[in-house]
Structure 1
Amino acid sequence: MNDRVIYDGWLKLHKRKVNNREYEIIKNYDAVSAIILNEFGDILIVKQFRPAVMEETLEIPAGCIDIEGESSEDCLVREIEEETGLKIKKEELKKVISYKPIMGFSASTMHIFKAHINKEELKTNKVNDDDVSEVKWMPFEEFQHKIKNGVIYDDKTVMSYFYLCSLKDK
């Protein structure tokens, strides 16, 4: 295996030669996300602008592990506070799944966690994140409707929907 860097920015693009074939590989950060539920079964959703698709999307809170040595739980606690204003302790986070969302050209991993909080704990819509324009509780039925109708199409959020559905089937 032979790698050479062809772009070195926030993302890094490598050319990788394997068995006389050349591939382009993106090296990006691993990421974390949270399924945050309240006592009524509502899910916490953030609306944020995504320049790759040039629109605001509805997603579960998430972020990249971009601080050297930071654990996935510590990163998620920080990202949840930045995106939603919520202060969650890492002991409140339960690991759900880790997966590779774009393994055709990246080895990055997405870690999904779950937390339960009381609805009143989300006291404000003030956030410390320039990309997030809204934070809101979404009833599960509305969440399901938006997934099924393609309004919510973010991979980690869709994955979280199927996880929640699997719990309802038990």
Structure 2
Amino acid sequence: MEIRDEPFEVEVVDSHLVFEGRVWDVREDRFRYNDHELVRHYIDHTGAVAVVAIDDEDRVLLIQQYRHPIRTRDWEIPAGLLDIEGEDPLDTARRELAEEVDLVAEHWERLGRMAPTPGGSDEIIHLFLATGLSAAPHVHAREAEEADIRIEWVPLDDAVAAVMGGEVANGAMMLGIMLAAERRRASARA
């Protein structure tokens, strides 16, 4: 049996905005499913990208920044919103790596995608592996929560240990680290 998510269309009877926010909105959909009419509220999200940047010493770039909803300075990988209409996720990943940590990458690889909260948001995060890193041509100004981002280069094995030990909670970082580590293990076996 092949395990694969399957797109599935339902009849949407009504869909409207119930809250318009600065970054994303809340939408209410009324739809038919299995002979029932259901109502669901969810975050109408632009989508995002996250980048596992690994240097030539097999270290992954982690950033720590304040995230107000969870009242934590959590460890993450560079990430950002798909907030430019029509921009390809890979182009967004390139832009975010330069904007958040002033790096460019020679090699890019798609690691996968994730739906962090499929019961409450339509957000999809596209995960990328970036290698062949070098300094971006110019440094970006940072403000708000990004003004005091802490940057650390961590051995990939130590990052995996932090994920496995329950020391970190950022889902995109956890999945990205584990996918990159598994890709490295698979390459070593080949």
Structure 1 length normalisation: TM-score? 0.86
Q: Percent identical across equivalent pairs?
A: 20
The answer to whether the 8 Å contact 2:29/2:39 transfers is: yes
Residues 3-14 of structure 1 aligned to structure 2 (within 5 Å) = 3-9=15-21, 10-14=23-27
Are residue 153 (structure 1) and residue 165 (structure 2) matched? no
Partner residue, 2:4:
none
State the 1:28 CA deviation. 0.8
Partner residue, 1:37:
54
Kindly report the root-mean-square deviation, in angstroms, between the aligned alpha carbons of the 2 structures: 2.0
After superposition, the C-alpha distances for 1:61-96 in whole angstroms (9 at most, x for unaligned) are 10001011222122111111111011336xx21111
Give the partner amino acid of 1:5: L
Residues 1-170 of structure 1 aligned to structure 2 (within 5 Å) = 1=12, 2-9=14-21, 10-19=23-32, 20-88=37-105, 92-118=107-133, 121=134, 128-130=141-143, 131-132=145-146, 133-167=149-183, 168=185, 170=189
1:99, 1:74 → 2: CA distance? 18
Q: Note the residue ranges of structure 1 that are not aligned, 5 or more in a row.
A: none
Secondary structure, aligned partner of 1:102? coil
State the 1:156 CA deviation. 1.0
The answer to whether the 8 Å contact 1:29/1:64 transfers is: yes
Give the partner amino acid of 1:55: T
Higher relative contact order (CA 8 A, sep 6+): 1
State the 1:154 CA deviation. 0.7
1:46, 1:117 → 2: CA distance? 19
The answer to whether the 8 Å contact 2:156/2:181 transfers is: no
Secondary structure, aligned partner of 2:62? strand
2:75, 2:123 → 1: CA distance? 22
The answer to whether the 8 Å contact 1:85/1:128 transfers is: no
**How many residues of Structure 1 are paired with residues of Structure 2 in the alignment?**
164
**Which stretch shifts more, 139-148 or 64-73?**
139-148
State the 1:108 CA deviation. 2.0
After superposition, the C-alpha distances for 1:131-158 in whole angstroms (9 at most, x for unaligned) are 2321121012321222123222111111
Q: Answer with 1 or 2: which has the greater Rg.
A: 2
